[in-house]
Amino acid sequence: MQQTSTTLTRRHRWSATLALLLALTMASPVLADGDKKKKKKTATTEQKSAPKPQIDISKLVWPSPPSIPRVRYLNYFAGVKIDYTAQTKSKKKSWMDRLAGTQSESEKFNIKDFPFQLLGPYGIAIDSKGLVYVADQKVGAVFIFNTETRDVRLIRNGYEAHFGLINGLAIDDDDRLFVSDGKMRRVLIFDTKHEVIGQISEALMDPVGLAIDKQNRFLYVVDTQLDQVIVYDADTLKLLRRIGTTGKNHWLTTPGDFGAPSNVAVDKEGNIYVTDTMNNRVEIFDADGNFLGQFGKHGDGPGYLARPKGIAIDCDGHIWIADSYQDRVQVFNREGQLLTYLGGHGHFPGQFEDVIGIAIDKQNRVFTTEQYPGRMQVFRYVTDSEAEAEKSRREAEQGKTAPKAVDSTSQKGGERVQQQSYTTPQAEREFWLAGRGRNVAVHKRLADPWLVEVDFSNETEVTFGNTYRRF
């Protein structure tokens, strides 16, 4: 009996041991899966927390180094600040509130606190305080940006004003705001409190671009459907004259006429520059409306125009054009020679998607608006005097570091021979088109960004911060 019980006890032990081993074998894959899931979660968390690549916008300049920069990237704006902080949960309604139909705090909506964003920005204007006004066609409001604090106010359709389809903006010496409305066929005038104080509707069908000659007190209104630029007295708002022939349905190409013009700008002498969009050119008139000249040729490369829309004049008289089809901002001189350009299709800083508006303020800041990203980008124009000062500074530095002439006496005849080492100044450079199967010299204009530098020690000539060989 005792032997039998011992045998049973051993069998029970073996059975328990086998059962334990089997349980561990079954559990090991589950533990392994658990470890894998933990590793996956950890990897996913690390991926999510990995820092995103940042773009150093302080180094974005045009043209690229080592050339003297003429345009610097500053910033961009997209709308009202959005508060992403978690809101405290509101208390649930009591049965009495539900019966009375009252709203809880979370259900209350204040239109003034809504963070509107740019959806279809078009015209731009800057007042005497540096506030930037942007007309948004899709939102139906004029955004007012404080570029220092990034605060935003709005003049909204249905609240401060009644808009149909707002396009262009202009601001005069008294900070009166002029807003063109194509759908309502009028130009509204606002005072400094953003209250409507007047309007212009005479002779208008589709007002778009606006500009004010502050010296001669002229208000220029570009009417795209009429193919005309209509001139009013900026103070009395009376019609003075029309520029261009109407009634030809955008078909006219003769000098002084237009095919669906878009915008207008005024220079220091009171001359006006009009983007003749369908004819892919810019036409120039004096303050009396007399035709002075034109430039522009249809094409899809730098120096050519394809649906030019926005236009502005900088303090040095250069003409900045926003080309909506090429998504480029191109800078020309009065003769129509390309000086530089920036942009291209894309959403990165300095790129555009249907660029429309452009404006330059007294601080030489350049503002652009584009439709599809719904944003306003800000650049800084480096003036001719600033570029010349930078050029002189670089030449002075190079003069300090340049090797001095070394005199040595030759072994033949004892004559003194001067050996001199030259350094090619930064100014004496020439750009050539590269990678096109041939080298093509580009004279007096900046061409494609795909360029290589070639040093020359012969005569050179400075144009818009870069230098070119004289022919």
Residue range 365-388, pLDDT digits in tens: 999 999 998 999 999 999 999 999
- Residue 429: its pLDDT value, please? 34
Instruction: Give dist(CA 141, CA 155) in Å, integer.
Output: 5
Residue 403: its pLDDT value, please? 65
As a whole number, mean pLDDT of residues 49-75 equals 84
In sequence order, which residues have a C-beta less than 8 Å from that of residue 78 and are 6 or more positions away?
A: 117, 118, 373, 374, 375, 376
Question: What residues have CB less than 8 Å from 296, skipping those under 6 apart?
Answer: 276, 279, 280, 281, 282, 304, 305, 308, 336
| Short-list 401, 457, 367, CA closest to 118 | 367
- pLDDT, position 179: 98
CB 463 within 8 A of CB 431: no
Helix (H, G, I), strand (E, B) or coil at 390: helix
Mean residue pLDDT of the chain comes to: 80
Tokens 């072994």 correspond to 411
What tens digit of pLDDT does each residue of 88-116 get? 455 566 666 666 666 555 555 455 567 78
* pLDDT score of 57: 85
Least confident of 276-290, 349-363, 399-413: 399-413
d(CA 414, CA 412): 6
The CA-CA-CA angle for residues 460, 441, 389, to 5°, reads 35
Residue 464 has pLDDT above 50, yes or no: no
Task: Please enumerate in sequence order all residues whose Cβ is within 8 A of that of 442, keeping only pairs 6 or more positions apart, or say none.
Answer: 431, 432, 433, 468
pLDDT at 3 over 70: no
Neighbours of 125 (CB within 10 A): 26
Mean pLDDT of 258-268: 97
- For residue 395, which phi and psi values (nearest 5 degrees)? -65, -35
Q: What percent of the chain has pLDDT over 90?
A: 62
252 pLDDT higher than 70? yes
pLDDT in tens, 155-185: 999 999 999 999 999 999 999 999 999 999 9
pLDDT in tens, 321-343: 999 999 999 999 999 999 999 99
Task: Write the pLDDT tens digit of every residue in 14-53.
Answer: 666 666 666 555 555 544 555 555 555 555 555 555 565 5
- How far apart CA 367 and CA 377 sit, in angstroms, is 6
Confidence of residue 83 (pLDDT cuts 50, 70, 90): low
Q: From 396, 418, 395, select the one nearest 406 (Cα to Cα).
A: 418
**Spatial separation of the C-alpha atoms in residues 303 and 333, rounded to whole Å:** 11
Q: What is the mean pLDDT of residues 190-210?
A: 97
User: What's the confidence (pLDDT) of residue 49?
Assistant: 52
CB 179 within 8 A of CB 157: no
Q: Identify the pLDDT of residue 420.
A: 44
Tokens 């001719």 locate to 384
Q: What contacts 249, CB < 8 A, 6 or more positions away?
A: none
Structure-block tokens of residue 312: 């502005």
- Please check whether residue 355 is in contact with residue 312, taking contact to mean a CB–CB distance below 8 angstroms: no
Identify any residues that bridge with 223 across adjacent strands, giving them in sequence order. 207, 228
C-alpha to C-alpha distance for 128 and 291, rounded to whole angstroms: 31
- Pairing mode, strands 121-126 and 132-136: antiparallel
- Residue 277 CB-density burial (10 A; 0-12 exposed, 13-18 middle, 19+ buried): buried
| Candidate from 23-27, 132-136, 219-223, 315-319 with smallest mean pLDDT | 23-27
| Token duo for residue 149 | 């604090």
Q: Which pLDDT tens digit goes with each residue over 267-282?
A: 999 999 999 999 999 9
Per-residue confidence (pLDDT) for residue 80, from 0 to 100: 79
Higher pLDDT: 14 or 310? It is 310
- 92-98 own/partner pairs: CB under 8 Å, 24+ apart: none
Q: What percent of the chain has pLDDT over 70?
A: 67
**pLDDT band, very low/low/confident/very high, at 471 (cuts 50, 70, 90):** very low
pLDDT confidence of residue 422: 38
Contacts of 50 (CB under 8 A, 6+ apart): none
Each residue of 420-448: pLDDT tens digit? 443 333 333 333 233 333 333 333 333 33
